[in-house]
């Protein structure tokens, strides 16, 4: 009898890290967390909650969750709860769950901004704020919904945790181990540092791609332009197709950091435009070379 005949792998024979996991919002992000946790054997039971009954039914059919429950049931039964909902919904959902939580239940989230989520958490949970560790898995895909969920979405991806002073050390450790069991690399930082960095590398690209796309769509020769667009255009604008609702919420939640980044971007744009206007060959070359070297370095280091 060789290793492949033993049945459950050695990792799944260890006791699971948590008994009952509840995922609120079983789309791409929440569904993939459920799938990864199940694959790792890191939870005994996985509950799902959310707005749309048909999404929960689909998640159950797909084997992402064992059972669809209400927010109240999830709060009462779970040992760990992951919220993967639009950031604007974090406060209302936590408010709804708060009265039903067990003293030992650990909460986390997957929202793209962290300062506002911390604020919403404090308002909703009050004295129980120590049970909430905000987080942000930096992963995504073009597709959405439970069908798009995939157990290796988080493999080699970065998950940021922005723990609060009130969190217990054991809870921080547990959450870190759970994300690591999904294949992720976990880093901890202050919510403001997270929001500033994300404004730069995630929210600004979205804003710029959307502004660019809206500008082309409004041009008189829009049809002709679109016909001549190639693969550079395709990649540069891909993110502009994302949900307007979700991105409006993110921009709003991270407005201060984004306005700061916009200032920086405008300065850099002014400088490049000036080189172009002045026919300053060396200036143009130097700026393009700095950009190319930085992008190539990132490409060689990142696993994306």
Interacting residues with a copy of itself between 91 and 130 (CB under 8 A): none
> Would you state the structure tokens that stand for residue 69, as one six-digit string?
């429950």
* Interaction between residue 221 and a copy of itself (CB under 8 A): yes
Instruction: In whole angstroms, give the CA distance from residue 3 to residue 174.
Output: 29
User: Shortest approach of a copy of itself to residue 279 CB, angstroms?
Assistant: 7
45 with 20: CB under 8 angstroms? yes
Q: Tell me whether residue 128 or residue 196 sits nearer to a copy of itself (CB atom).
A: 196
Residue pointed to by tokens 């157990």: 151
User: Shortest approach of a copy of itself to residue 38 CB, angstroms?
Assistant: 24
Instruction: In whole angstroms, give the CA distance from residue 160 to residue 108.
Output: 11
Task: Give the residue, chosen from 78, 160, 186, 253, that forms a contact with a copy of itself under the rule CB under 8 A.
Answer: 160
Which strands sit side by side in the sheet containing 106-109, from one edge to the other?
A: 67-68, 43-49, 18-24, 80-83, 106-109, 132-133
Q: Taking CB under 8 A as the criterion, which residues in 262-291 touch a copy of itself? A: 262, 264-269, 272-273, 276-277, 279, 281, 284-285, 287-291
* Interaction between residue 304 and a copy of itself (CB under 8 A): yes
Task: Give the residue, chosen from 71, 84, 194, 257, that forms a contact with a copy of itself under the rule CB under 8 A.
Answer: 194
Task: Give the residue, chosen from 44, 122, 172, 196, that forms a contact with a copy of itself under the rule CB under 8 A.
Answer: 196
Triad 76, 162, 297: Cα angle to 5°: 135
Q: Tell me whether residue 130 or residue 242 sits nearer to a copy of itself (CB atom).
A: 242
147 with 67: CB under 8 angstroms? no
Binding marks (x or -) toward a copy of itself, 136..155, rule CB under 8 A?
--xxxx--------------
User: Shortest approach of a copy of itself to residue 137 CB, angstroms?
Assistant: 10
Alpha helices by DSSP H, listed for the chain, are 10-13, 28-39, 53-61, 71-77, 90-97, 115-125, 169-181, 191-198, 204-218, 222-227, 231-237, 244-253, 255-277, 281-301
Which residues have C-beta within 8 Å of that of residue 222, sequence separation ≥ 6?
A: 216
Binding segment toward a copy of itself, per CB under 8 A, in 57-65, 75-83, 99-107, 196-204: 196-204
Binding marks (x or -) toward a copy of itself, 9..38, rule CB under 8 A?
------------------------------
Binding residues for a copy of itself, total number by CB under 8 A: 93
Task: Give the residue, chosen from 56, 239, 253, 257, that forms a contact with a copy of itself under the rule CB under 8 A.
Answer: 239
């Amino acid at each position: 009898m060789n290793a492949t005949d033993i049945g459950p792998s050695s990792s799944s024979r260890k006791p699971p890290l948590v008994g009952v996991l509840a995922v609120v919002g079983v789309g791409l992000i929440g569904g993939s967390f459920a799938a990864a946790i199940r694959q790792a054997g890191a939870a005994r039971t996985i509950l799902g909650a959310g707005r749309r009954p048909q999404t929960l039914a689909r998640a159950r059919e797909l084997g992402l969750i064992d059972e669809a429950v209400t927010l109240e049931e999830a709060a009462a039964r779970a040992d760990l709860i992951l919220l993967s909902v639009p950031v604007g919904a974090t406060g209302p959902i936590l408010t709804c769950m708060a009265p039903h939580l067990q003293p030992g239940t650990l909460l986390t989230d997957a929202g793209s901004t962290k300062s506002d989520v911390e604020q919403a958490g404090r308002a909703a949970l009050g004295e129980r704020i120590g049970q909430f560790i905000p987080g942000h898995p930096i992963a995504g895909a073009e597709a959405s919904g439970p069908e798009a969920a995939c157990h290796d979405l988080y493999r080699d991806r970065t998950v940021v945790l922005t723990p609060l002073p009130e969190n217990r050390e054991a809870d921080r450790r547990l959450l870190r181990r759970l994300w690591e069991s999904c294949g992720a690399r976990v880093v901890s930082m202050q919510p403001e540092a997270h929001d500033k960095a994300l404004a730069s590398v995630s929210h600004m690209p979205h804003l710029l791609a959307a502004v660019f796309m809206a500008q082309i769509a409004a041009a008189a020769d829009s049809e002709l332009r679109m016909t001549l667009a190639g693969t550079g255009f395709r990649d540069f604008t891909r993110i502009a197709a994302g949900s307007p609702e979700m991105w409006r919420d993110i921009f709003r939640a991270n407005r201060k950091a984004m306005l700061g980044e916009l200032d920086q971007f405008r300065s850099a744009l002014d400088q490049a435009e000036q080189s172009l206007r002045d026919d300053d060959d060396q200036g143009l070359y130097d700026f393009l070379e700095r950009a190319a070297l930085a992008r190539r370095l990132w490409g060689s280091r990142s696993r994306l």
